[in-house]
Structure 1
C-alpha cells in the first residue's frame, strides 16, 4: 500500500469550482475586497465614458493594486502575471486578467482620487473601533526616486559641457562648409551630428533654467533668514547686550557650481541615505496613530530637512473629518524641533513632544528614577515642552514614537517591499506614497481584526 497522497491531474471536477472557495475565510485578499466594496467609488466610475469595449470595474483594479502593494507585488506586469499564477490575485480579479497597461493607466489616472479614498478607509477604521485619534507620531523616510543619481547634472558641469558642445558645433559647421573640397569625410553624417549636439544644448539650457529657478528660491529664503538674524542682533545691541559669535555674512546670490538637477526626474533631489551615502530620493512623511499604528496623514516633500514638515501635517489634520476625533499629542524627533513648530502646535490645541536635542537611548539607573523637575514659571511654550519631556509621563509618552512610526516604515520598506517609487514627479510620487500607506492601513486593519 502506498504511503503517499495520490497525485491526479487528469480527473475533471464533478462540479465547476467556485472562486469563493479558493481562499480561507480570514485571508487578506477577502478583507481587501470587503473594504473596497464599502468605499464610495463614484468619483472613479463617473469618469468612464462607456464607449468602446467594456472596462474592468474600478473596484477590481483598486483591489488588485492595494493587495499588490500590501504583499510586495508592485509592478503592473507582475500583478497581471499573478492573476494567472496566484490564487489570491485570481480571487481579487474574479478570474479575469486585466493587462498591465490597464493597471498602470488606472493607477496613474486616479492618483488624485486616492486622497478621499484614504480618508474613507480611516472613517471605516473608526466605525470598526480600530482607530481613535489621540497621540500621533510624525517621521519621515527617504524613498528612492525612479531615477539614478548618476543622471544628475551640476551647474558647473553644465557650463563646461555647453562650451564644449558649442565648440564642436562650430567645428562641424566649418567642416560642412569645406565638405565640397574635402573628400575624406570618414563617413560622418555632419547634419545629424550637429542636430544631436543642438538637442543636447537645448536640454542643458533647460536644466540650467531649472537650477537657476531653484537658486532664486533659495536666495529669497537665505536673505529672509539673514535679515531676521541681523535684526535680532541689532535688537540685542540696543538693549545693551553683546550678541554672541560673529555677525552673519550676507548670502551669495545666484546658482552655485555644485547645484544640480536630475535629467530623468527633475523634481527628485539628492538626499543622504542611512548607510549608503547619497541617493536620488524623495522625503516621504507619515503621521501614525500610536495606539493602532494606522497612518493618519501623509505628504511627500523635496526637502531633506524635516523642520518645515510640521505645518503641512497640521494643515492635513485640520482638513480631516471631525468625526475622526481630535489629535491631542504630537511626537517627533529632534529633526522637527523649532520654536515656531512648538508654538503652532499649541495654537491648534495639540501638545507637542518634540525632542530638542539628541539624547542617549538608555538613561543611567538613578536618572531614570530621579525626582521630577519643578515646573517652570515661564509661559514660554518651548520651556513648557522641555519640562514635559523631563517628566516620567512625558518620557513614557515620547517613547511611543520609536515603537510606532519607525516600525511602520520598516514594514512598508522591508516586508511590503516598497523601497522605490515607480512613478516620477512630485505629484505622482505623492499619490503613490498614499497608495502604499493605504495598503498598509488595510493590511494593519486586517491584522487587528483577525488577532
Structure 2
C-alpha cells in the first residue's frame, strides 16, 4: 500500500517581540541614503533661521529650555510633503513614524508647541520658500522657459454669518428695526389687554432687549467697516473675504501659484483676500521672474499678457478665444523680435 505524504505549509513569521538583541538597533539604519528626510535635514541646517525671521533662534539664559526652531521647522516641512497638516497628527508621527523619529532625533513636541510655532512664524515661511527656490535654481531644477499661473479659492475657518459687507449690514439693520417695531407693537397691545399673561409680557421684554443688543453690535460693525476703508469685515478671521458665489467657497482666500513646467516645481505662491483675479497675474508672474532670475525685459511682456487676459476673461467662447490666443502669439513674437 502506497503511503501518502502530506506537507504542512506555513506563513513567514516575524521574530518574537520579547527577543533580546545582541546589539541595539540604530535608528539611522532604518532611513535609506535617498530618503527625503535626509534632504529636509540638510536644507534646514543650511538656513540662517535668525535672518529669515524665525523666533527664539537664540536660547535664553534662564528658564526652561525650549525646542530649537530648526527642529520644529523640519517636522513642519515633513508634514507639508506628506499632506499631514494637523498638529495633533504631527505629534502622533513623532511617536510612531521612524522617519520622523530619525528627523527629530527622538524629540516629541506636543501639538500645541507645533501649532504655536506655525502661528508665530508664518511670515518667516515665505523667506524659507524663497531660499528653497534659490536652492532649486542652483541645482538647475527650473527650466525658466515656461511657467503656468493659476489661482484657486481656499475656504477659511469661519462662517459666512460672521462676515459683513455694507449691503449685508444695511439689510441686517433693516431687519432688526422691523422686528423691533413689530415686538414693540405687540408689547403695547399686551399692555392694553388685561388678560395677557405676565409670562408673555416678560418674554417680549427679553426678545426686545436681545434685538436692541444685536442692533448695537451691527452699529459697531458698521463703524469699524467705515473706519477700515474696506468693502468687507470678517469677525472670526479678519483677513478672510467673501468670494464669488460661483467658487462655492463662501468666505476664504484667493491663492495664486506659478509652476515651472520643467519639473513641476512651484516658483511663486501668494495668498490674497481679493475677490477677483484681475491684476494678480502680473503680480504673480513678476514675482516668479524675480525668483527665477529671468531677465527684466520680460516684465513688459507680463504686463501686456495680463492686460490681454483681463480683457478676454469674459469672452472665452468661440472666435473670441481664437483672437485671444492669436494676440498672445503676437506678443510672444514681438518680444522675441526685441531680443
Quote how far apart the aligned CAs of 1:326 are.
1.0
Which residue does 1:305 correspond to in 2? 276
Q: Tell me, in whole angstroms, the C-alpha distance in 2 between the residues paired with 1:146 and 1:66.
A: 22
2:68 matched to 1:28? no
CA 1:325–1:155 in 2, change beyond 3 Å: closer, same or farther?
same
The aligned runs of 1:110-129 (5 Å cut-off) are 110-129=121-140
Equivalent residue for 2:253, pick from 270, 278, 282: 282
Q: Tell me, in whole angstroms, the C-alpha distance in 2 between the residues paired with 1:386 and 1:170.
A: 68
CA 1:204–1:91 in 2, change beyond 3 Å: closer, same or farther?
farther
CA 1:11–1:195 in 2, change beyond 3 Å: closer, same or farther?
farther
Q: Tell me, in whole angstroms, the C-alpha distance in 2 between the residues paired with 1:201 and 1:118.
A: 46
- Aligned pairs, how many? 306
Which residue does 1:105 correspond to in 2? 116
Alpha carbons 1:136, 1:329 under 8 Å: kept? no
Quote how far apart the aligned CAs of 1:140 are.
0.8
Give me the TM-score of the superposition, normalised by structure 2: 0.72
Q: Tell me, in whole angstroms, the C-alpha distance in 2 between the residues paired with 1:198 and 1:32.
A: 57
Alpha carbons 1:133, 1:327 under 8 Å: kept? no
Q: Tell me, in whole angstroms, the C-alpha distance in 1 between the residues paired with 2:21 and 2:92.
A: 25
After the TM superposition, which of the residue ranges 111-120 and 158-167 deviates more from structure 2? 158-167
- Root-mean-square deviation (Å): 4.3
2:72 matched to 1:61? yes
Which residue does 1:250 correspond to in 2? none
Q: Greater RCO between the two (CA within 8 Å, min separation 6)?
A: 1
Which residue does 1:432 correspond to in 2? none
Which residue does 2:4 correspond to in 1? none
Q: Tell me, in whole angstroms, the C-alpha distance in 2 between the residues paired with 1:328 and 1:72.
A: 36
Quote how far apart the aligned CAs of 1:79 are.
0.7
Alpha carbons 2:87, 2:115 under 8 Å: kept? yes
Quote how far apart the aligned CAs of 1:261 are.
4.5
CA 1:91–1:263 in 2, change beyond 3 Å: closer, same or farther?
same
Quote how far apart the aligned CAs of 1:145 are.
0.9
2:293 matched to 1:325? yes
Q: Tell me, in whole angstroms, the C-alpha distance in 1 between the residues paired with 2:60 and 2:218.
A: 41
**CA offsets per residue over residues 425-447 of structure 1, 9 Å max, x none?**
xxxxxxxxxxxxxxxxxxxxxxx
Flag structure 2 segments of 5+ consecutive residues without an equivalent. Answer: 1-7, 189-196
Equivalent residue for 2:267, pick from 290, 293, 296: 296
Q: Tell me, in whole angstroms, the C-alpha distance in 1 between the residues paired with 2:176 and 2:198.
A: 28
Q: Tell me, in whole angstroms, the C-alpha distance in 1 between the residues paired with 2:79 and 2:210.
A: 42
Which residue does 2:169 correspond to in 1? 155
CA 1:290–1:60 in 2, change beyond 3 Å: closer, same or farther?
same
Equivalent residue for 2:218, pick from 198, 204, 211: 204
Give me the TM-score of the superposition, normalised by structure 1: 0.56
**CA offsets per residue over residues 292-319 of structure 1, 9 Å max, x none?**
3222222222223211113433563576
CA 1:390–1:318 in 2, change beyond 3 Å: closer, same or farther?
closer
Flag structure 1 segments of 5+ consecutive residues without an equivalent. Answer: 175-182, 219-259, 331-344, 368-372, 374-381, 394-451
Quote how far apart the aligned CAs of 1:208 are.
2.1
Alpha carbons 2:176, 2:215 under 8 Å: kept? yes
Q: Point out the structure with max Rg over C-alpha.
A: 2
Secondary structure of the structure 2 residue equivalent to 1:120: helix
